[in-house]
Structures are given as C-alpha cells and as structure tokens.
Amino acid sequence: MPHNIDFSTASSEAIIDALCRRLDQIRLSRNVSQADLAAEAGVSRSTLTRLADGQPISLDSFVRVMKALKLTDHLAALLPDPAVRPVERVQFQGTERQRASRKKAEPAEWEWGDTDS
C-alpha cells in the first residue's frame, strides 16, 4: 500500500503517520518480525506496534529502527546540508555563521505628499 503524501502541505501528524507506516512496510517487506526488530533495535515491541499503527514514537526509537533495518544511508536525505556557500565564506572572511541575524525592517511605503527635503 503506497503512502504518497505531500510533505509540504501535510500536518505533522499526517507526516508522522506516513513515515511510521512506511518504516513498518519496509520491515514487513524484509520479513522481519516485530519481536526480532525490537531486539535488534533495542526498543520495546510496543514501540514497534505504535510505529505500525502510525502513532508517534521518539526520534531516538525512529533512528534505532532505521539503523536496525540498515537504512542509515537515507537519514542524510532528511535534511539539507547547511554548509556555508563559498560566496558567504568570503563575506564572513572564512568564519562560520554562529547565529542568525535580525531581519531588516521594511522601508515605509511612499505616499504622495511625503517629502524628505
């Protein structure tokens, strides 16, 4: 059963449900029992039951299950690489960004009758 979901518009609950169910489908496609996977991942069987039902599990449990299913190569695809681009490296003189800067205030919209002189 495919779990096509538009991650950009889905609620966090729908995304959790889709990811958990997809992970359980991978488990089933590899013919691994919940008990065996729980032992391999170091999580409880009830955690895997919640996963199969699409209920939230901890991030630690999610990563453990992915590692036990040998899916760690896919973890890097979850988030883009935040490395600074070369142009920014020159701008910051070789240093890495340590904090976000404040957004600059939008200039007030000009109206007829406004004069600066």
Which domains are present in the chain? Answer: 1-96 (1.10.260.40)
Mean local confidence (pLDDT), 14-24:
89
Using one digit for the tens of pLDDT, what is the confidence trace for 69-102? 999 988 888 877 766 566 666 666 656 666 666 7
Q: Is the per-residue pLDDT at 1 higher than 60?
A: no
Check if the beta carbon of residue 51 is closer than 8 Å to that of residue 18.
Answer: no
Structure tokens at 37: 């996977």
Using one digit for the tens of pLDDT, what is the confidence trace for 63-75? 999 999 999 988 8
pTM (whole model) above 0.85:
no
Check if the beta carbon of residue 18 is closer than 8 Å to that of residue 1.
Answer: no
Helices 34-41 and 59-68 cross at an angle (nearest 10°) of 110
